[in-house]
Amino acid sequence: MARGAVGDDNFFMFKKLFTLPNLLLLLILLVASFMRLYKIADYLTFLGDEGRDALVVYNILHGHLTLLGPTSSVGGFFLGPIYYYIMAPAMWVAGYSPVGPAVMIAIFGILTVWLVYYVGSKFFDTTSGLIAAALYAIAPVVILYSRSSWNPNLMPLTTLLLMYCLYKAVAKNSWKLFGLVGLLLGIAMQLHYLAVFTGPIIAVYTITGGYIVLSGKNRPFIWKNIGKNGLVIILGFIIGWSPFLAFEARHGFNNIRAILNFVFHPQSTGNGVGFANFIPTIKDVFFSTTGGKYPRQHTYKNVSTVGNFALGDNLMDTWFGRCYFCHHKGTQRNKK
């Protein structure tokens, strides 16, 4: 009888594991893997930026550590070094071949497909998650940027994970998750400065979502709790951005001054992006990513292709932020 019971348990476990949604998800992940890994060594991009990164990582692996990352595409300032240290293990395993970091990015891209499914299924339903993952798995621009090593290519994974953690942090009122949100924001800021646009989303959702979750409490307690969560986010952000901040503290905050100058006095850098170009940029990035049209460099004028891809990713964050708010509000109504 014991053997029969064990056999029944194994059968039910097998049946539960190999459901139709799980098999479809496996198929989507296999397609995503093929699209990102097929002949990656033959078709990966390895130009000036990639060569610079490879040389820096080579030096890191030989004991020459750095607190400064790649230069930004515009503005003349630098990012934090986190991407170099993420690259280092892949570079070492591949014997200092540039294929190693490219494969690493492809694997992170496959993980992002799964995360899109997971988030979609949690917010809506399994079907929505599968459709979202399938579209993301075969999006031409997404595939393109998942087949070579470049610091902004980790932005979709980082920002989507950040926004999901923010949702859970507000729902559970968890200071640990708020700290993780800040940490992820600090890491995202080292990958690309367009991550700064997630800051207002985090602030608005932390305040409005926290107010809704704690609506049964008195107002002083609510605002005190929201303020505490905000301070935890800031602390996590400082930790996540600490390598760059350490460099800045040693060198008179030159990069931070350059960033502020670029934002508030774009004409002085010669790379400013006027508002007249903002809406066309958003439109072109959206249809390029979802419709399969390769981004045209001339359309973006003074904004780089990768910068626009990161901008499109942050627009996706805005959409997710609105979905979180509506979803959470609906949950509270159902509880009442």
Paired strand residues for 71: 78
pLDDT for residue 238: 96
pLDDT for residue 217: 81
- Residue 43 domain flag: no
- Residue 222 domain flag: yes
The number of distinct structural domains making up the chain is 1
- Residue 298 domain flag: yes
- Residue 61 domain flag: no
pLDDT for residue 8: 59
pLDDT for residue 332: 47
Give the whole-angstrom CA distance, residue 228 versus residue 248: 27
Give the whole-angstrom CA distance, residue 94 versus residue 22: 32
- Residue 214 domain flag: yes
> Within the chain, which residues score under 50 in pLDDT?
1, 273-276, 292-336
Give the whole-angstrom CA distance, residue 9 versus residue 29: 28
Give the whole-angstrom CA distance, residue 124 versus residue 109: 22
- Residue 44 domain flag: no
Q: What is the residue range of 329's domain? A: 152-240+273-336
Give the phi and the psi of residue 155 in degrees, each rounded to 5. Answer: -60, -45
- Residue 183 domain flag: yes
pLDDT for residue 320: 46
pTM for this one?
0.76
Please name which of 244, 242, 275, 304 lies closest in space to residue 77, comparing C-alpha atoms. Answer: 244
- Residue 330 domain flag: yes
